[in-house]
Structure 1
Amino acid sequence: MKFLGKHIILELWGCESKALDDEKGIEKMLIDSVNACGATLICTKTHKFSPQGVTGVAVLAESHISIHTWPELGYAAMDIFTCGEHVEPIKAVPIIKEFLKPKHIEILDLKRGIRIEEGDKI
């Protein structure tokens, strides 16, 4: 089966609340994650909420990496969605773990745009 994109969803629990509220640090983590997985960065955009929390996205030529944080819960939700065979989104995970220091991480690994062709077994 052929597919168009790789989509990794990260559930990060027990993260350092200071990191989850660090807008500049999150922007750097996004950029470092892009580089680690071999993607092409177009731009980043982050926003710091009051009283706490950050949202951010790295827009890629190959799609995006996004994060939404809840420092009061020690939780972050992330998406790494890429297309192109040269990009390996799972390689961004060590960068993310190093910065956020989660105690527990759940990873959903999805294939997007699956194309079933004649002769493919399902």
Structure 2
Amino acid sequence: MHLMIDGYTADRKLLWDHSRVKGFLETYPSILGMTSISPPNVVSYKGSKETDWGISGVVLIAESHISVHTFPERNYLNVDIFSCKWFDPDKAEHEVSKLFGVQRTKSNLIERGIEYLTDDEAEEGMLSERLSLADNEQNIG
């Protein structure tokens, strides 16, 4: 799964808070049932355009990674959660909104990665194969 969250009308002060972004990346994986495998890497950015300034961070998780990019002068942030493990996208979005004072979000969820059969799909496939074999045996005998 790859959830991309855009947060609009966020709290500018919270978006400038380096320790908040770092704390978010330290605690967010466990909130979503994931496992951090590195400490967060968080940096402040001040380029030539003030509207592009902000804080960016990433944490590696056993399931893939989580990143955040804040744009305080736009009251805006991006959060990406890429995971090979299922997580609740509504909960993920709610936690981002709560922590950064986001008034409105827009998100996009993409299914990615290797397709694995669910238990029900595997059982259905097994049953279908056995019934097919039984039919073939009856037709032969």
Pick the TM interval, shorter chain: 0.7 to 0.9
For 2:21 and 2:11, locate their aligned partners in 1 and report how far apart those are by CA, in whole Å: 12
Q: Does residue 13 in structure 1 map to residue 8 in structure 2?
A: yes
Q: Unaligned regions of 5+ residues in structure 2, if any?
A: 118-141
Using the size of structure 1 for normalisation, the TM-score is 0.81
Residue 67 of structure 1 and its aligned partner are, at CA, apart by 0.8
Question: What is residue 78 of structure 2 aligned with on the other side?
Answer: 77
Q: Does residue 45 in structure 1 map to residue 41 in structure 2?
A: yes
RMSD: 2.0
Using the size of structure 2 for normalisation, the TM-score is 0.70
Question: What is residue 110 of structure 2 aligned with on the other side?
Answer: 110
Q: Which has the higher contact order (CA 8 A, sep 6+)?
A: 1
Which amino acid is 1:49 matched to? Y
Residue 114 of structure 1 and its aligned partner are, at CA, apart by 5.8
Residue 24 of structure 1 and its aligned partner are, at CA, apart by 0.8
The percentage of counterpart residues that share the same residue type is: 28
For 2:4 and 2:95, locate their aligned partners in 1 and report how far apart those are by CA, in whole Å: 15
Flag the 1:33–1:56 CA change in 2: closer, same or farther, 3 A: same
CA contact (8 A) 1:66 1:79 kept: yes
For 1:11 and 1:40, locate their aligned partners in 2 and report how far apart those are by CA, in whole Å: 23
- Count the aligned residue pairs: 110
Which amino acid is 2:78 matched to? A
CA contact (8 A) 1:58 1:64 kept: yes
**Stretches of 4+ moved more than 6 A in 1?**
none
Q: Unaligned regions of 5+ residues in structure 1, if any?
A: 1-5, 118-122
Question: What is residue 96 of structure 1 aligned with on the other side?
Answer: 96
Which amino acid is 2:26 matched to? I
**Structure with greater helix share of residues:** 2
Could you say which structure has the larger radius of gyration?
2
CA contact (8 A) 2:97 2:103 kept: no
